[in-house]
Structure 1
Amino acid sequence: WQYKIHLVLGMTIFLLLPFSRLVHVWSGFGSLAYVWRPYQVVRARRLNLPSGHNAPSKRQPK
């Protein structure tokens, strides 16, 4: 029965916190305030380019 409790508690942690945030909890920032912290929004600094310019360029053979 101890193993079942261990499994249930472990799965509950994964359900409450997405994995990317869970990694940071274990790295020392595991305070209760961290649970309600908003997600980080990452924005790229791209100009409005015509379609096809955001794909990686093809290498020219030498």
Structure 2
Amino acid sequence: MKELLSVTDDDIKYLAYGIGIGTTAGLILGFFINNIPLGFSLGGVFGIIVSAVYSIYKKITSNKEK
């Protein structure tokens, strides 16, 4: 359990990519729904959630291989 909660350099990289991709997608979506701040915020939150889930998934699959 402690290994799942620890933050590694790869986790930080996934988080940065998730925030960047999420906010970009949110800006584009916000442009089309005429509410750019809402799209930016939702995209950032969605990017953080997806990157956290992906990091945990990678840790679980790497532990099963060992």
TM-score by length of 2: 0.30
Q: Rg: which structure is higher?
A: 1
TM-score by length of 1: 0.31
